[in-house]
């Protein structure tokens, strides 16, 4: 079902613009260099296996696909684009809402509500992740350009045949009915400006047609295939998490599912420099989507972060069953994630073949 996005945050750019009645963005970020844009969309070599695979995707029902940095030159151009200055200036994907939606009862300059905890909890509302484990390596910060502006999101590495597949939110790859992202780059284990495991550029992005054509929040998920870094795949570099497509049975939806959600929230009172998490039992959305919600104060920038079921706080391993998607503007303490079902499975199956 397509819900009304006019009352949502952590939503795609077009929806956020509607929510603010077309409010223009006040600040100006560096525009993408034309040479970068041209390099990113350089055609791939005709006749190669990957070319045929990509051409086949254009005819696959249930998949909307966009090629990204599919050549070595294009990938290098994207990495060159992301200077320290551009990375520092990038805003969370719906940054036009920053400052207008502070959490109730908090002074945005105080950093309230994000204190560091001694150990993981099953009812966190957005504290900094206090442990180590696999989740700190497989979760990363995403940098992307959408309609000439630079933004941040979150993504996670999932186990796949090509060892190069990530899962994130649909609006972190495509602005609903609008533009596809460019300059898409994943930084696993990002922390306070450091890229300890390198940077990985996107070669392919896949979203469901329900997202691409209707901006349906029930399908706000994406699979992104990334290039290797110095010949090493992202999965070989940092490991991967399991992914599941049958977690949201009607019985479990009614009873609630214990989840752990991770991301790099960047809007006040967060700064986007460290991995944070929320945890708790879910409740079904009553606003017109099939998404589920969990109590969480994480803000924009956490979009696309993994929702784990069966999560082991000692090892940082779990099963990704959803991603951070949206909040309602009149309930900033509940974060929603779409159900991974057959539509998400189809994207994953196709992505893992590339």
Peptide bond into 269 cis (omega under 30): yes
Number of Cβ within a 10 Å radius of residue 226: 28
Position 44 in a domain: no
245-257 pLDDT, tens digit per residue, is 999 999 999 999 9
CATH number of the domain residue 262 falls in: 2.40.10.10
The total number of structural domains in the chain stands at 1
Which pLDDT score, from 0 to 100, does residue 139 have? Answer: 98
115-168 pLDDT, tens digit per residue, is 556 789 999 999 999 999 999 999 999 999 999 999 999 999 999 999 999 999
Position 30 in a domain: no
Position 114 in a domain: no
Whether the Cβ atoms of residue 165 and residue 224 lie closer than 8 Å to each other = yes
Position 307 in a domain: yes
Position 105 in a domain: no
Position 42 in a domain: no
334-348 pLDDT, tens digit per residue, is 999 999 999 999 999
The tally of CA atoms less than 13 A away on the side-chain side of residue 35 is 6
Rg (CA), the chain: 18
Position 84 in a domain: yes
Position 258 in a domain: yes
Which pLDDT score, from 0 to 100, does residue 8 have? Answer: 72
Whether the Cβ atoms of residue 293 and residue 334 lie closer than 8 Å to each other = yes
The tally of CA atoms less than 13 A away on the side-chain side of residue 57 is 26
* Residue span of the structural domain in which 288 resides: 49-96+120-352
Torsion of CA 336, 341, 342, 344, to 10 degrees: 50
* 200-207/64-67 β-pairing: antiparallel
End-to-end, the C-alpha distance of the chain in Å comes to 30
User: In this predicted model, which residue has the larger pLDDT, 115 or 332?
Assistant: 332
39-50 pLDDT, tens digit per residue, is 333 333 334 446
């Amino acid at each position: 079902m397509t819900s009304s996005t006019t009352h949502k945050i952590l939503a795609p750019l077009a929806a956020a613009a509607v929510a603010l009645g077309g409010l223009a963005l006040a600040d100006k970020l560096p525009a993408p260099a034309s040479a970068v844009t041209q390099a990113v969309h350089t055609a791939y070599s005709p006749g190669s296996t990957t070319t045929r695979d990509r051409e086949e995707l254009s005819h696959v029902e249930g998949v909307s696909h966009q090629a990204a940095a599919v050549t070595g030159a294009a990938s290098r151009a994207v990495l060159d684009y992301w200077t320290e200055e551009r990375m520092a200036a990038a805003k969370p994907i719906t940054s036009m809402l920053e400052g207008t939606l502070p959490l109730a009862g908090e002074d945005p300059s105080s950093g309230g509500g994000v204190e560091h905890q001694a150990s993981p909890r099953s009812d966190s509302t957005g504290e900094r992740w206090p442990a180590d484990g696999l989740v700190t390596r497989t979760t990363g910060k995403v940098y992307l350009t959408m309609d000439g502006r630079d933004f941040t999101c979150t993504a996670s590495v999932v186990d796949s045949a090509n060892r190069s597949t990530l899962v994130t939110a649909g609006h972190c790859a495509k602005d609903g009915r609008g533009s596809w992202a460019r300059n898409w780059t994943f930084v696993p284990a990002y922390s306070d400006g450091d890229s300890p495991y390198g940077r990985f550029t996107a070669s392919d992005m896949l979203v469901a047609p329900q997202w691409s054509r209707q901006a349906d929040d029930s399908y706000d998920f994406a699979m992104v295939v990334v290039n290797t870094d110095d010949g090493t795949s992202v999965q070989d570099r940092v490991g991967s998490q399991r992914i599941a497509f049958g977690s949201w049975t009607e019985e479990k939806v009614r009873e609630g599912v214990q989840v752990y959600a991770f991301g790099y929230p960047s809007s006040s009172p967060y700064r986007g420099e460290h991995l944070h998490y929320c945890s708790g039992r879910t409740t079904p959305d009553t606003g017109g989507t099939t998404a589920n919600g969990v109590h969480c104060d994480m803000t924009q920038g956490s979009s696309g972060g993994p929702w784990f079921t069966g999560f082991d706080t000692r090892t940082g391993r779990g099963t990704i069953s959803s991603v951070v998607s949206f909040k309602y503007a009149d309930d900033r303490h509940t974060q929603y994630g779409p159900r991974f079902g057959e539509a998400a499975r189809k994207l994953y199956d196709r992505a893992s073949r590339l």
